[in-house]
Structure 1
């Protein structure tokens, strides 16, 4: 029996679109491609998400790979990227609706320490029973250890949890640790239909 719904954050509850962030800083397509690959598409960004690299370390590393004329834009992007996060309208009220139906509601997200600068953007974030951010634990999805630590920390039975994430690899990892889930591709109606099975 499903008792808890576990949400990812980016592209599940909020719109995470790095290319949009970059396009707001430069109209040059070559520059856009470089900034995307060397910041948001880099291994360093994954380290930043995991909490094993600080923002200053990330910036220093990125600057070694970018031409000097892009250094100021890179600095601005890293200082402001989260201002471009917006709640997905169709998902905005779902956590609270689930909570009111008696489900436990949790957040399990790969997110850097910047999360604490933008948490107010997370729909109904105060209604969550637990928030688990990768950079707090130096772990990241799809590692099995982050799921196992999440269950242990909140004393949850994975068989009683249902996970909503936009990355197929994360859904697979969740299933491998005992938690079923839904691969969310902004297919709101399919998700709602799926949740009706649990009494939403």
Structure 2
């Protein structure tokens, strides 16, 4: 029986355009996001690099760019947050049938954008028993440490826990720890359909 639901944020609640950031950076003159830069971005995502240092690094590798241009390109991935998903999580929160947790790979610039552009962000956040962002806890998916951290923090039984994420690499990592998963497809599925799509779990 599921007693805890752990939700991802991007492409579960807020819509993403994942190729958009690289497209915008290329417009500024970046050839591509190579492995070295991808690893650098991951360090920012776990809070090992400050936002100021992050922007400075991009300004060095893309000459003659302004801070605002880098921030705009970086946040281009973030799109709309359909309000029906807020209604869904609010209802779950009120019903109190499940412990509700959010577990997201995200960074300070993205959260700042969300706070400024999603008017109901604080209402959304208040629906969760705990709200884990990778840059605040210095851990990221799909590393097993982040799942172990959440399991231990809340004394969760993996087989009674459901993890929802649009990235298969992340759900596979959770499965290896015995956690039930839903690797949702953001194109064809919506988190609001959870109890019909995954009815076998409830």
Write out aligned runs for 1:151-170 (5 A): 151-170=151-170
Question: Which residue pairs with 2:175 in the alignment?
Answer: 175
Question: Which residue pairs with 2:89 in the alignment?
Answer: 95
Structure 2 unaligned segments of length 5 or more: list them: none
Question: Which residue pairs with 2:6 in the alignment?
Answer: 6
Shift of residue 128, structure 1, vs aligned partner = 0.6
Q: Is the 8 A contact 2:30 2:61 kept in 1?
A: no
Write out aligned runs for 1:21-170 (5 A): 30-31=26-27, 34=30, 37=33, 42-68=38-64, 70-77=65-72, 81=75, 84-99=78-93, 100=95, 102-114=97-109, 117=112, 118=114, 120-121=120-121, 124-170=124-170
Supply the RMSD in Å over aligned alpha carbons. 3.2
Question: Which residue pairs with 2:196 in the alignment?
Answer: 193
Shift of residue 108, structure 1, vs aligned partner = 0.6
SS at match of 2:12: coil
Structure 1 unaligned segments of length 5 or more: list them: none
TM normalised by structure 2 equals: 0.77
Structure in which a larger fraction of residues adopt helix: 1
Q: Is the 8 A contact 1:184 1:191 kept in 2?
A: no
Q: Deviations over 1:143-196 (max 9, x none)?
A: 000100111112222221101101100000011122111111121286442343
Count of residues in Structure 1 that have an aligned counterpart in Structure 2: 191
